[in-house]
Amino acid sequence: MAINLNLPELDIRDKRLGAIISYNGSAQDIYEKSLERSIKPQERSFSQCGACSSSCAFGIVSNIIGSVVINHAPIGCASDFATAQNNIRRGSALRGIDTGNFKAISTNLEEKDTIYGGSGKLREAVLLAKERFNPKVVFVTASCASGIIGEDLESLTDNLSKETGINVVPVYCEGFKSKVWTTGFDASGHAILRKIVKKSSKKTNYINIINFQGAHVFDDLLGKLDLKPRYLFPFSTIEEIENISDAVATANICETLASYVAAALESEFDVPEVRAPVPTGIKWTDEWLREIGRMTNKEERVEEVIKEEHEKIKPKLDDLRAKLKGKKIYIMAGDAIVQSYVSAADSLGLEVIGAVAFHHDQAYDNDYQELNTVGNMLKHIGDVENYCVTNKQPYQFTNILKEFKPDFVLARHPGIAVVINKLGIPAFHLADPNMIIGYDGVVALGEKVYEAIRTQKYVETLAKHFESPYTDWWSKQDSFTFAKGGKKLG
């Protein structure tokens, strides 16, 4: 896909990457169909819940040190503030830093503003941000309301930048535009790249790591190669972001999160993306390190590191594999990251009996086969015969898990593990996806899984006292009854 940073916004994932939110089949099938982008979006006749691309965009920019976010929206959209604050507190603890509270202002758009416009409120909010916080950058996140009334954010923010002397950056993340909330990651990345990042002619020993608020797990792994990780974008300073084009490469913990930013850095700033799967699981970590070695002319040292790391974790890994032998796991997470969890589970000898991706991109912005996470899963691990896509619908999860009866469920997003525990199945929410990065991450995941499986008695007791909100009728239905094109009752 052609990158154009001169445009104020980019195409949504639904159009750009053929993203879908419903599918039921196998990993092999979705892979083959995605190569031709032949999977058509399925409409649901019922949705229990959803998510918004504005929330994803807000979650990224609100974590940047030295910035203020103005949510140009009705006050209800400010519910994202609580989530952002929680993420910052948790993330800063994982990083061992104190960033203080995040800084955000709502323009509180009301009904009258949808008629007369909200430009006055936006200007007032920017001036207030300057008075209170004196930030280096002010991000203005759009909303359904500001988008529907046609607010000219580009002109408004340009004029406010001139008036205040602050870089006022619009983020076009209106929720109604896309059914795929991860479009918000792209919107925030596009805004940062076009308004903050500078071109650099020099190269350093930094590797850009596009991730969430997770721990500094890449420090040790890359340090052994005399390379430094630069974590983006949560807890980055404006100065760090300005200079990310001096990196020797860009890597990530999730291709969904990183796809657009990595592609833009490669095409517009001459920073190549690491063409290898995310370093989760032993096989994928080996491949990732070898690609880093190739890109930095450190192949010999990489082989030494791989050998050292394999030997280091072997005793613990053998012990965990023995304890977890025969255990069946089901995995639920966002696209791309779900396959990396399958890789880590495979390294522990766990049997992956099924997986749910919360959406699926049929392509990536850097359309290299080496970045295709479903393809990498098939190549290194094999098919997951029970593979489906559903955008976090609890009513589907309950029926899916009753059918497959796993010993354990690994879930990425909060709330899901609680629902699963009530069914009598041990599960935990992987709050920090960085926890399972690298060789030590395989061991860390194994210890967490073993700990969770030992709660079997507790969750069985919990299930006995749980009254399901779903009727007996629904429990007898196919999980995809309300999704057109999904399996139907025979």
Average pLDDT, rounded, for the chain? 94
pLDDT score recorded for residue 115: 94
Same fold, 206-276 and 287-476: yes
Q: What is the pLDDT of residues 208-257, one digit of tens each?
A: 999 998 889 999 999 999 999 999 999 999 999 999 999 999 999 999 99
* pLDDT (mean) for 68-95: 92
Q: What is the CATH number of domain 287-476?
A: 3.40.50.1980
Q: What pLDDT score does 90 carry?
A: 86
What's the confidence (pLDDT) of residue 484?
65
CATH of domain 206-276: 3.40.50.1980
pLDDT at 487 over 80: no
Whether the per-residue pLDDT at 414 is higher than 80: the answer is no
Segments making up each domain of the chain, as ranges = 53-174, 206-276, 287-476
The share of the chain scoring above pLDDT 90, in percent, equals: 83
pLDDT for 115-142, tens place per residue? 999 999 999 999 999 999 999 999 999 9
Q: Confidence band (pLDDT; 50, 70, 90) for 1?
A: low
CB 319 within 8 A of CB 443: no
Average pLDDT of the segment spanning 94-110: 91
Task: Write phi, then psi, for 170 (nearest 5 degrees).
Answer: -80, 140
Please report which confidence band the pLDDT of residue 387 belongs to, taking 50, 70 and 90 as the band edges.
very high
Give 53-174's CATH code, choosing from 3.90.79.10, 3.40.50.1100, 3.40.50.1980, 1.20.1300.10.
3.40.50.1980
pLDDT level of residue 488 (50, 70, 90 thresholds): very low
User: Is the predicted pLDDT of residue 490 greater than 80, yes or no?
Assistant: no
Q: How far apart are CA 395 and CA 16, in angstroms?
A: 29
Report phi then psi at 382, rounded to 5: 115, 180
CB 65 within 8 A of CB 237: yes
Measure the CA–CA gap between 280 and 342, rounded to whole angstroms: 9
